[in-house]
Amino acid sequence: MDYAGHTLDVEQHITYVNTTPGSLAALPLVVEARRYPGAFQLLSVTDSRGARFSDFQWKDTLLTLALPAELAPGDAARFTLAYSLRLPGLDTLANTRPHPLGYNSQQVIFGDWYPSVPPFVPGKGWLAHPPAMYGEHLVYEIADFEVAIRFTDGQSNLVIAASAPAVQDGEWLRFSHTASRSFAWSASPYYQVASQEVQLAEGQVVEVSSYFFAYHENAGRALLDGMTQALVLYSNLFGAYPHPALAGVQAGFMDGMEYDGLFFLSTDFYNWFKDPPADFLVALAAHEVAHQWWSGLVGSDQALQPWLDEALCTYSEHIYYENLYPEALEWWWEYRVNYYQPAGWVDISVYDVPQEFGYYRKYRDPVYLRGALFLDELRQLLGDSTFFASLRQYVARYTYQQASAGGFVDILRQNTPADLSPILTKYFKNLK
């Protein structure tokens, strides 16, 4: 990594085991970095013997590799990609969506920076979707990440935030992030860090860290408090958190973006921070930590069924407030949900709104906010015991798997004699 030059030279080794029901003649790779003009340059693709792949095709952000021989179910293919990344300037990008890959005068940010094999679902195929205007189109498979980073420009004062703890190995920093859906990281000479070790009920110790800039120390420490509280609460309610660390990182792009073991949160929320707990930064801390369950442990098709992740994360904010700050719960309903008077079907996809600037609320309001209203009404129908038992069962059944809306409702129906049809008809267009 050349920090000052904002470039990264990468040698990426992929071992892919064919978990599909049939033999594969080709393998798709999603290359999200190609959304940024000039950011991604593929240098070579070689097999395990060092022979170059000569047959591959690009279609937008999808790279399809023709395999040297058909890959039978259960067999593994090993290959290496060499490529370079030239980070885009965050200040030069249109302020229309989160841009979790880039640099500014304070930091470099690496989210969705490497090619990845998408999940395969029988009957649906590869879950590799075209880019959407507002993002949230990527679907992640479980993988083991072993990452080594070396800085080549002599910069020695960098602070690294990553999805996993770093181990110093000479001039290399090494990270091991197993059974995860993504690996993200960031570096800055200006990061301040507040950390706390948290012991969860199952005995696991997790190091929770907040990375922020000095002029936002109060907000950064408030984020740490919210993260630790949410981590303990959700581990008790939903199931064990699977990683040894969790990082929240102040970032110079709009909104935020979640990854396994790390999330970015826009500087905007640090600027607006006043006092916890009735504050959007605190609410979003609870939201982003919830992603560790609803898009980390449990996978789903975030492009076609985004509510399975985002509605559950939004309602997890409610669960956070009612348990930790019940005096602020009315504020949360009023300013997070009701103020916007959300309307529309909860089960729209990211493509069901115009793919142009100015329509984000047409997506967010039904998926996030009406989704939270649905879950609250569902909870009242089922009762707390059945509602939370169903969420725990959903996590247990789909840990490291790809869940679906139908699978979620099947669990509900297994746990209650109540007729779910009226509430589903009220909130969903296609789910009955």
Give the CATH number, domain containing residue 373. Answer: 1.10.390.10
The string over 392-417, giving b where at least 16 C-beta atoms fall within 10 Å of a residue's C-beta and e elsewhere, is eebbeebbeebbbbebbbebbeeebe
Distance CA 97, CA 110 (A): 16
User: pLDDT at residue 94 above 80?
Assistant: no
Nearest to 339 by CA among 362, 369, 319: 369
Read off the pLDDT of residues 321-330 as tens digits, 9 standing for 90 and up.
999 999 999 9
Read off the pLDDT of residues 40-50 as tens digits, 9 standing for 90 and up.
999 999 998 88
400: domain range? 298-432
Domains: count for the chain: 1
- Tell me whether residue 354 is in a domain: yes
First to last CA, the chain: 51
Distance CA 432, CA 423 (A): 9
Read off the pLDDT of residues 98-139 as tens digits, 9 standing for 90 and up.
899 999 999 999 999 999 999 999 999 999 999 998 889 999
- pLDDT above 70 covers a percentage of the chain that reads 100
- Tell me whether residue 191 is in a domain: no
Distance CA 132, CA 123 (A): 23
Mean pLDDT to the nearest integer, 257-285: 97
Predicted pLDDT at 283: 98
User: pLDDT at residue 365 above 90?
Assistant: yes
Predicted pLDDT at 139: 98
User: pLDDT at residue 220 above 80?
Assistant: yes
User: pLDDT at residue 160 above 90?
Assistant: yes
Q: Give the Å distances, CA to CA, from 420 to 84, 314, 394, 413.
A: 51, 21, 17, 8
Mean pLDDT to the nearest integer, 181-199: 98
Cis check: omega of the bond before 115, within 30 degrees of 0: no
Distance CA 328, CA 226 (A): 14
Mean pLDDT value across the chain: 96
User: pLDDT at residue 222 above 90?
Assistant: yes
- Tell me whether residue 424 is in a domain: yes
Nearest to 42 by CA among 80, 76, 88, 6: 80
Mean pLDDT to the nearest integer, 350-369: 94
Sequence-ordered list of residues with C-beta below 8 angstroms from that of 412, at least 6 positions apart, any chain? 378, 382, 390, 420
- Tell me whether residue 383 is in a domain: yes
Predicted pLDDT at 419: 97
Distance CA 43, CA 88 (A): 19
The pTM assigned to this predicted structure is 0.97
Coil vs helix vs strand at 333 = helix
Predicted pLDDT at 153: 87
- Tell me whether residue 409 is in a domain: yes
At residue 264, φ and ψ (nearest 5 deg) are -105, 145
User: pLDDT at residue 96 above 80?
Assistant: no
Predicted pLDDT at 201: 83
User: pLDDT at residue 155 above 90?
Assistant: no
Sequence-ordered list of residues with C-beta below 8 angstroms from that of 168, at least 6 positions apart, any chain? 174
User: pLDDT at residue 202 above 80?
Assistant: no
- Tell me whether residue 306 is in a domain: yes
Which pLDDT band holds residue 185 (cuts at 50, 70, 90)?
very high
- Tell me whether residue 247 is in a domain: no
H or E element, residue 387: helix 384-398
Predicted pLDDT at 135: 86
Predicted pLDDT at 357: 85
Token duo for residue 58: 């690009």
Nearest to 10 by CA among 39, 42, 33: 42
Mean pLDDT to the nearest integer, 12-36: 97
- Going 111 to 150 to 45 to 93, the CA torsion angle's sign is positive
- Tell me whether residue 340 is in a domain: yes
At residue 247, φ and ψ (nearest 5 deg) are -125, 140
